[in-house]
A and B are shown apart, each in its own frame.
Chain A
Amino acid sequence: EPEVTQTPSHQVTQMGQEVILRCVPISNHLYFYWYRQILGQKVEFLVSFYNNEISEKSEIFDDQFSVERPDGSNFTLKIRSTKLEDSAMYFCASSEYEGSPPGELFFGEGSRLTVL
């Protein structure tokens, strides 16, 4: 069964360092997302991406964050200068379509980021 894959599974970094989280969405999917989940809290939307550009972003997704689809398969989330509060599980997700009927969203297993 096709799946969304994420790397690394766990990354520990020092505050102020840059981090890149990588995702390989399901191959025929066109819509890509990043979500985060701080330990013990609910999943929060960060950004959605379609047709090589950001379609929506949340208040969390400030200038420290960026996304890129550098080639036909990878989808990356970059945090330029990490803060302690960026420590969370980051989930990549992809969907074949949006709208009606609603497309099923497939999540990766997550990348756990720990900022020291």
Chain B
Amino acid sequence: KNQVEQSPQSLIILEGKNCTLQCNYTVSPFSNLRWYKQDTGRGPVSLTIMTFSENTKSNGRYTATLDADTKQSSLHITASQLSDSASYICVVEPSGYSTLTFGKGTMLLVSP
């Protein structure tokens, strides 16, 4: 069964600090991996999309990495801001399907 596991479940960091969120997946065959930011009560917003051949993708202060061999991805946030407080969701798309498999997300709280 295709699964996406994220860790930690929640995280509190001080404003200005960096953090790294983890994602492990069992989806196979694999097409691409996405990271989304979801503010409470809002729709997910795309941060990065990486195909299986890409190792890293940046979007401003967000940098995602992908190791397709170990089926792991990470999202690194640098110089965190209060507005970064949200749930960060790892999403994997299998090859040959349009159905995305979502992780439960990591809830990040950036504290002043």
Shortest distance between the CB of A65 and any CB in chain B (Å): 15
Q: Which residue of B has the minimal Cβ distance to A3?
A: B43
B-facing residues in A34-55 (Cβ within 8 Å) = 41-45, 48, 55
* Residue interface mask B12-27, A partner, CB < 8 A = 1: 0000000000000000
Q: Which residue of A has the minimal Cβ distance to B45?
A: A107
Verify if A108 is at the interface (C-beta below 8 Å from B): yes
- State A100–B96 Cα separation when bound (angstroms): 11
Contact A105 B46 (CB under 8 A): yes
Shortest distance between the CB of A37 and any CB in chain B (Å): 9
Q: What residues of A have a CB within 8 angstroms of the CB of B41 in the complex? A: 89, 110, 112
Shortest distance between the CB of A95 and any CB in chain B (Å): 9
Pick from B43, B51, B98, B102: contact of A48, CB under 8 Å: B98
Residues of B within 8 A of A (CB): 31-32, 34, 41-46, 49, 51, 89, 93, 97-100, 102-105
Residues of A within 8 A of B (CB): 4, 31, 33, 41-45, 48, 55-56, 58, 89, 91, 93, 98, 100-102, 104-110, 112
6 A-B pairs with the lowest CB-CB distances in the bound complex, closest first: A107-B43, A43-B102, A102-B32, A42-B104, A42-B102, A48-B98
